Amino acid sequence: MPEGDTIFRAARTLHRALAGQTVTRFETVLPRLQRIHDDMPITGRTIEEVSSSGKWMTIRFSGGLILLTHMLMSGSWHIYRPGERWQRPRRDMRIVISTADFEAVAFTVPVAEFHTAASLARRQGFNQLGPDVLSTGFDERQAIANLCAQPDLEVAEALLRQHVLAGLGNVYKSEVCFACGINPFRMVATLTDEETNCLVQTARRLMSRNVSDTSEARIVTYTGLRRTTGRAHPGERLWVYGRAGQPCRRCKTPVQSRKQGREARVTFWCPACQR
């Protein structure tokens, strides 16, 4: 599942390509979006802003119309020059937004809805997001308070709750817990103030490192592998995620994994470093 850093980079790239441009073509295979386009054409509108909020993306058009998307497990946005060959087959296309210079294509996006500002404010799941880890206005105190307000949840499960902290997914939940030396199956109620602070601050630090901007004003899609260790080698980029049975990078104890929480997401941890 794309996590907050992936959506942030995609939104940044789309914003650079599309903001201030006029829509020359809008195409979709989703009936609900097509009905809106038929009644209130997207073609001719100006794209005002593309932004991310946790794992959600919004594309704001002139006239007060907002396209809200969520990638869930397999969705993605691509950006192409006119006539450039798509990297995925047309059968995976869900939405196309074209301007004179670029073509934004949403592939296998499972959640796509048009909203006004009023309806977006009522949209369940979006209107209850906690502080966005990658927001410039990130509210660390609120994030800590939100985490502490989940005493009966296991730590890793609490980190996945988007109303606690928006943007973290399964990779970061395991990596953040490891970096803080906290067993992911501990209850939030057992955390010290220092541990709670570490979880929130480390989540922001690790995710921010993976959205570093070196492309200036150019339209460049980030293609590097996600890293939390700071190491350049592709095989050494993560501490524990996806490494069940392999030696811990710190103590050589075999990394363990098991399903956790209401969605049975797999959690990875070192039993020695995270007692």
Is 265 labeled as catalytic in the residue annotation?
yes
Options 3.30.70.270, 3.40.50.1970, 3.20.190.10, 3.20.20.220; CATH for 4-122 is: 3.20.190.10
- Tens-place pLDDT, residues 134-148: 999 999 999 999 999
The answer to whether the beta carbons of residues 102 and 79 sit under 8 Å apart is yes
In whole angstroms, give the CA distance from residue 42 to residue 249: 51
Band (pLDDT 50/70/90 cuts) for residue 224 is low
Q: Which is the catalytic residue, given 123, 161, 205, 265? A: 265
Domains 4-122 and 140-269 share a fold: no
- Tens-place pLDDT, residues 199-219: 999 999 999 999 976 544 444
What's the residue count for the chain? 275
CATH fold, domain 140-269, is Helicase, Ruva Protein; domain 3 (1.10.8)
Q: Helix or strand or coil: residue 58?
A: strand
Q: Which is the catalytic residue, given 45, 55, 173, 243? A: 55
Tell me the residue type at 189: A
Q: Which is the catalytic residue, given 3, 48, 157, 175? A: 3
Calculate the average pLDDT of the chain: 94
Is 3 labeled as catalytic in the residue annotation?
yes
The structure tokens listed for 226 are 């996600």
Band (pLDDT 50/70/90 cuts) for residue 221 is very low
Are β-strands 103-107 and 93-98 bridged in parallel, bridged antiparallel, or unpaired? antiparallel
The answer to whether the beta carbons of residues 274 and 177 sit under 8 Å apart is yes
Q: Helix or strand or coil: residue 153?
A: coil
**0.75 exceeded by pTM:** yes
Task: Break the chain into its structural domains and give their ranges.
Answer: 4-122, 140-269
Q: Provide the percentage of residues in the chain whose pLDDT is more than 90.
A: 89
Is 84 labeled as catalytic in the residue annotation?
no
